[in-house]
Amino acid sequence: MSGSRQFCTFYLGGFFFGVEVDKVQEVIRHQQTTAVPLAPEVVGGLINLRGQIVVAIDLRRRLELPPRPAGQAPMNVVVRSDDGAVSLLVDEIGDVVEVEEQDFERPPDTLSGTGKELIRGAFKMKRRLLLLLDTEQALKAA
């Protein structure tokens, strides 16, 4: 396999993640969320995206990472899904990067827990690893 692919990147609890660019509808700054009582823990709430109501998934909770430090507002990466747009709450937005297909490697077997479900693999970039997020899995609440 050769060729390059573009990823929209973001930071989450010190990790560097990427989502295929064509899956991302838009990236927006922090939005006010409405909490949903009794909802699964990973649901960060509902946001008003220009008149469209979009559910926000707290990726930190989804990946079982420690909670976001107080006072740090999450950013929204809005991705398309079969069920309409869904927002992923992340710490910070990175650039759109272009990576080579040959730099991809599947996750090691030692990866366990939710990471195993959600991370499809890693692109070995010069300075760090870009973790490829499986958005379909990530959107499954719980």
Partner 1 sequence: MGEMDDIIKEFLVESSDNLDQLEVGLVELEKDPSSHDLLGSIFRAIHTVKGNSGTLGFPKLEAIAHGGENLLSKMRDGMLPLNTEITSGLLRMVDAIRQILHLIEASGTEGDAEYQEVIRMLAELLEQEASRPNQTEEPKLLGQILAERLRVPSDAIDAALTKQREGDLRRIGEILVDQGAVPPGAVLDALKAQAAESGPPVAASNIRVDVSLLDKLMNLVGELVLARNQILQFTTSQKDATFVGTAQRLNLITTELQEGVMKTRMQPIGNVWSKFPRVVRDLAVQFGKQVRIEMEGSETELDKTIIEAIKDPLTHIIRNSIDHGLEMPAARVQAGKPAEGTVSLRAFHEGGQVNIEISDDGCGIDVERVKQKAVERGQLTREQAARLSEREALDLIFLPGVSTAQQVTNISGRGVGMDVVKTNIEKIGGAVDVHTMPKQGTTLKIKIPLTLAIIPALIATAGGKRFAIPQVSLLELVRLEGDQAEKGIENIQGAPVYRLRGHLLPLVYLNQELGLGETTSGSGANIVVLQADEHQFGLVVDEINDTEEIVVKPLSKQLKGIGCFAGATIMGDGKVALILDVLGIAQKANVVTEVRDRAVVDTGARHTDVVAGRDAWLVFTVGGGRRMAIPLAIVARLEEFERERLERSGTQMVVQYRGAIMTLIDIAERSSVNNGDAEKEKLQVVVYSVAGRSVGLVVEQIVDVVEQAVVVEHREEDGMLLGSAVIQERVTDLLNLDALAKATPGQEARA
Exactly one of 2, 3, 29, 32 binds partner 1 (CB under 8 A); which one?
Answer: 32
Query: Based on CB atoms, which residue is closest to partner 1, 6 or 81?
Result: 81
Strands (E), the chain: 4-12, 15-20, 24-28, 43-49, 52-58, 75-81, 84-90, 92-100, 104-105, 119-124, 129-133
Which of the ranges 46-54, 94-102, 107-115, 116-124 carries the binding residues for partner 1, by CB under 8 A? 46-54
CA dihedral 134, 16, 21, 78 (to 10 degrees): 80
State yes or no: residue 1 binds partner 1 (CB under 8 A): no
Exactly one of 2, 3, 14, 38 binds partner 1 (CB under 8 A); which one?
Answer: 38
137 vs 142: CA distance, rounded Å: 10
Query: Based on CB atoms, which residue is closest to partner 1, 55 or 122?
Result: 55
Residues of this chain that interact with partner 1 (CB under 8 A) are 32-43, 45-48, 51-55, 57, 83-84, 86, 139-142
